[in-house]
Amino acid sequence: MKTISQCYSAALHGINAYEVTIETRLDRSTPKYFIVGLAEKAVKESFSRMLSAIKSCGYRMPGCKITQNLAPADIPKEGTGFDLSLALGVLAGSELVDAERLQDFICIGELALDGSLRPSKGILPIAIGMKKFRQQHLIVPEANAREAAMPGYCTVWGAKTLRDAMEIINGCSNIKPEVVDIKSFFGANENHRVDFSEVKGQAHVKRALEVAAAGGHNIVLIGPPGSGKSMLAKRFPTILPDLTLEEAMETTAVYSVYEDISETSLITRRPFRSPHHTVSDSALVGGGRIPRPGEVSLAHNGVLFLDEFPEFKKNVLEVLRQPLEDGQVTISRALTSLTYPAAFMLIAAMNPCPCGYASDPNHDCSCSIGQIHNYLSRISGPLLDRIDLHVDVPPVSYEEISDREDSESSKSIRERVSKARNIQTSRFQHFKRVHCNAQMAARDIKRFCDINDECRDLLKVAILRLGLSARAYTRILKVARTIADLDASENINPTHISEAIHYRNLDRDQGLY
């Protein structure tokens, strides 16, 4: 019997994987079990699962004192994914597993009492993290094998049972490594069930949404009930380009941490999240005793739609400021601080007043000036300042509703959006974490949004008349750059600046500041 054995597993800090070394010491003493290294309750309970699983596979648990240490010992360990490595460490100490070959494997999986392996969350980000680990082999539950093989950074083995994992390590298994053709995930999506051609009228709103989609900009739609705000927002994903491979991996990694995705494929469509206005701040940005991603992270590289914008609690809306500005959200707890990605497009929809008819020429508004002010003041100026496009959505006329001809389809709009995004992909190919115009930093704006004197004069007049902030100034330049990309124009022209300014005009007209 070997006194000490060593094996490896992995855990997550946010969506970033780090290696966990599991040291096992077997001493000829009174049978006892100790586990150290800041193991949470679920990890400590692994001994009972490990004991039953080893017996179910036809082996005996060593009758001695067993001490296992999870290093680094200063980081809390939680979850059931360490079961497999803990069991293999004991079996290696009993010389039932080749301890030398075990050094080349990262092993993850929850043990059932009968020795089978249950799927685990967070396998994809661990598989992505394998590129920085010394080990070249990854053993996961069979249900997670396809997910783990997608990045292609290591040899992935899918095991049904603890015995399978032992045979793989000992080199006497008939199981073949899992291989996935990542290209097969792209282009296999079913058609969208909705289309922009179903929306009557609202040509200028469709144009604004096209600009938002082309540059990844945030947008707020303001109009009376029944004007089509929600209808337009729900069709917005149909004009967005598919995720790139890098974006698809990032997005799927977030969902892998949030839920079990072992039975699903790589996410290649941009997410569309639409939480109800009763959502809590922790559900929106993430949190909990064991922090999990919130709606803003689940919308990463996609769309977060907030209908009835002013109905959300003010403290809930205010927590959006950091992710809107930084593209990520940081959740701090007493023992740890986690960062999740949150680079999403925000679409907000709202009425101009509590009754909804302040801007509707066909209905009388029953709200007082004070009621309207209180309603609109639920959205702070700093938050609204972070939204690039402010668009009025008027009621649709009878002539537009009764028109039998279909409007422009999502497919044709999407083609223009894709061309503009391709221009941006080429522009930012050497920039880390910048994929579209909306993600440009100040130095990027200075480089790519250079304007002539006529454009500067136009902007000067707009700033003086509308009282725009410095942030609004930079966002106008970003939107103008996107409009120029849609026109396939290398330079930003006065017409592009004028249209971008138009999308900030509602700040004063609607009394939102």
| 3-state DSSP of 418-469 | HHHHHHHHHHCCCCCCCCCHHHCCHHHHHHHCCCCHHHHHHHHHHHHHHCCC
pLDDT in tens, 406-452: 889 999 999 999 999 999 999 999 888 888 999 999 899 999 999 99
- Cross-strand partners of 339: 330
Burial of 319 (0-12, 13-18, 19+ CB in 10 A): buried
pLDDT at 188: 52
Which residue would you say has higher pLDDT here, 98 or 466? 98
**Beta strand segments in 97-251, E:** 105-107, 110-111, 117-118, 137-141, 155-159, 219-222
Joined together, the tokens standing for residue 372 give 């309207």
> Which pLDDT band, with edges at 50, 70 and 90, does 260 fall under?
low
Q: Rounded to an integer, what distance in angstroms lies between the CA atom of residue 135 and that of residue 471?
A: 47
pLDDT in tens, 327-381: 999 888 766 788 999 999 999 999 999 999 998 888 999 999 999 999 988 999 8
Average pLDDT (293-308) is 96
Query: What residue spans in the chain does CATH classification 3.40.50.300 cover?
Result: 196-509
Which of 17-26, 188-197, 400-409 holds the top average pLDDT?
17-26
Give the DSSP letter of residue 146: H
Which of 169-178, 187-196, 307-316 comes out lowest in average pLDDT? 187-196
pLDDT at 189: 52
pLDDT at 507: 45
Q: Rounded to an integer, what distance in angstroms lies between the CA atom of residue 63 and that of residue 233?
A: 64
The answer, yes or no, to whether residue 10 has pLDDT greater than 90, is yes
Looking up tokens 């993290």 gives 129
CA distance to 57, 160, 165, per residue, from 151 (Å) = 32, 21, 21
Query: What residue spans in the chain does CATH classification 3.30.230.10 cover?
Result: 4-180
Joined together, the tokens standing for residue 108 give 């993850």
The answer, yes or no, to whether residue 48 has pLDDT greater than 50, is yes
Question: 4-180 in CATH: which number?
Answer: 3.30.230.10
The answer, yes or no, to whether residue 99 has pLDDT greater than 60, is yes
Question: What's the sign of the alpha-carbon dihedral 307, 310, 311, 312?
Answer: positive
Which of 76-85, 154-163, 332-341 holds the top average pLDDT?
154-163
The answer, yes or no, to whether residue 151 has pLDDT greater than 90, is yes
Taking all residues of the chain, what is their mean pLDDT, rounded to a whole number? 91
Q: Rounded to an integer, what distance in angstroms lies between the CA atom of residue 123 and that of residue 108?
A: 8
In residues, how long is the chain? Answer: 513
Q: Rounded to an integer, what distance in angstroms lies between the CA atom of residue 295 and that of residue 275?
A: 7
Which residue from 500, 233, 238 is spatially nearest to 389, judged by alpha carbons?
500
Average pLDDT (190-215) is 91
Q: Rounded to an integer, what distance in angstroms lies between the CA atom of residue 344 and that of residue 157?
A: 34
pLDDT at 187: 65
Q: Is 202 left (phi over 0), alpha (psi -120 to 50) or beta?
A: left
SS3 3: coil
Q: What are phi and psi of 453, to 5 degrees?
A: -65, -35
**Per CATH, which fold does 196-509 belong to?**
Rossmann fold (3.40.50)
This prediction has a pTM of 0.90
Distant-in-sequence, close-in-space partners of 495: CB < 8 Å, separation ≥ 6: none
Q: Are 103 and 6 in contact (CB under 8 A)?
A: yes
Q: Rounded to an integer, what distance in angstroms lies between the CA atom of residue 17 and that of residue 322?
A: 24
Question: What's the sign of the alpha-carbon dihedral 475, 480, 481, 485?
Answer: positive
Which residue from 68, 279, 248, 96 is spatially nearest to 170, judged by alpha carbons?
96
pLDDT at 505: 64
